[in-house]
Amino acid sequence: MACAIEQSATEWFGGAHSLVRQWFIHAVRNPRAHADVAKMLAVPTEDYVNNWLSRHAGCTVEKVQHRPYDSVGRATNGRLIRQQIKLRTGKWYMSSMYGARDFDMMVVFTPGPYFSLRQSTIRCIPACVLADPMNPAHMVRNADFLKPIFNCDTMTHRVLRDIYGLSATAK
């Protein structure tokens, strides 16, 4: 376990000693501190996901601030695509209430064991399936019911293809 936690710390912070790296190692060892680890990793997770999206969507995806979405990219037709990025270790949920048109795609980053980047997964969910049937002006806050459908590479690539207008062979 200690070796795996050290590896995760190196993935996130590099190999040099730092107070943040040391805190991360101690926090990952304590399951009660995992929520704090996730909060601390939220911003670097957005950068990691944006780089991943840029590679897989074939366009530059950039971070934005003070919006109900975390990043934007352009579809092949020039349309602006807005992403809401969530780091989730368990249930897929949104801690805030979002309007039905606040973003185009939710991207769920799930770290691997001990918050590993190397063993992480990224899943894409189109906003249209997040509409709350009881309140269509808003999105559901608990999206865990979508895991059986969207928690796989095939659906993630299909969603990216559909939203970004990529060719059927793009990955």
Nearest to 63 by CA among 54, 72, 74: 72
- Measured distance CA(13)–CA(24) in Å, rounded: 9
65-78 residue pLDDT tens: 999 999 999 999 99
State pTM to two decimals. 0.94
Asked whether the predicted pLDDT for residue 141 surpasses 80, the reply is yes
* Mean pLDDT along residues 26-40: 97
* Domains of the chain with CATH codes: 41-164 (3.40.1350)
Alpha helix stretches (DSSP H) within 14-80: 19-29, 34-57
Task: For residue 70, give the nearest of 90, 48, 88 by alpha carbon.
Answer: 48
Question: Strand order in 80-87's β-sheet?
Answer: 62-63, 71-74, 80-87, 105-110, 121-126
pLDDT at 169: 55
Give the model's pLDDT for residue 48: 98
Q: Is the pLDDT of residue 91 over 90?
A: yes
CA separation, residue 145 to residues 12, 81, 129, 140 (Å): 30, 24, 11, 10
